[in-house]
Amino acid sequence: MSVISLELTPTVEKVATYENGQTCVPQKGDIVTVYHPHSHLPTTVHSQANYEARAEYDGLLLDDVSTLAGDDSDDHARPWHPFTERLDFEFAEAALDARLNQAQIDKFLAIIKSVARPDAAFTLKSSSDLDKAWSRASVLQTPFEQHEVQVAYKKQDYKFEVWNRSLWDWVLDQLHDPRLAPFLHWDARRLYRFDGHNWVGFVNEPFTASRAWNVQVQYPYAYSQVLS
């Protein structure tokens, strides 16, 4: 968290209205959030403890988006989808981390099959099964595509195969994910902490910096509403 000087002075001075509706004199450590005027959102004030608790709560939800209330669809009830079982996904993840080749995968699956409990929910039997599971999963996000890059070096052309994916399409994937929507911040805001005498501006996220604020100046209120 870096402290900076900001040209905007928060409207909260001698008396602050807090998130619980209580109006009182600001205390050292209190945090005021001033939203961009185009957002039409009111300025909010939180005690330091409540501000940190809210941030920690948001972080916990992001760590486990499956805990989001009101989301009872089949895919969200089974976050390992489209893998058939959770153990299938956990094995696939471990195989990927260990960079196992197909022969090694087949060997490990044969060992697992010989020692697995009769009631274990595990359906993978070969590297082919694992490849098919990864193929089903790959279509859920923007896929990687192969491109050929040609580079000239010492009067000779060299060709390289490069795999990448569209950054723009990947961002759209995130925007269309209903589990992430509550955590996307569309409106610029400025944060200030009360040091006992003055409100001191600070930045802790890109959307709390001056550039984000200046960018939103260029867009009308109606555009902000569409994004929200």
pLDDT per residue over 118-152, tens digit each? 776 778 888 898 899 888 888 888 888 899 999 99
> Residue 164's closest CA among 182, 177, 150, 146?
146
In a domain, 8, yes or no: yes
pLDDT for position 29: 86
**Is pLDDT at 163 greater than 80 in this prediction?**
yes
Give the pLDDT of residue 156.
92
Give the domain extent around 19: 2-68+178-227
Could you tell me if 212 and 184 lie in one domain?
Answer: yes
Last residue of a domain, one of 92, 110, 140: 140
**How far is the CA of 207 from the CAs of 45, 109, 165, 167, 168, in angstroms?**
18, 47, 25, 20, 19
pLDDT for 58-91, tens place per residue? Answer: 554 444 444 433 444 455 577 778 888 888 888 8
* Structural domain count of the chain: 2
Same domain? For 17 and 64 the reply is yes
pLDDT computed for residue 17 by the predictor: 57
pLDDT value, residue 149: 93
214 within a domain of the structure (yes/no): yes
Residue 136 in tokens: 């089903």
81 lies in a domain?
yes
- The lowest-confidence range among 9-18, 42-51, 130-139, 153-162 is 9-18
Question: What is the model's pTM?
Answer: 0.49
Considering the domain boundaries, does residue 200 fall inside one? Answer: yes
Distance between CA atoms of residues 191 and 44, nearest Å: 10
Distance between CA atoms of residues 189 and 207, nearest Å = 6
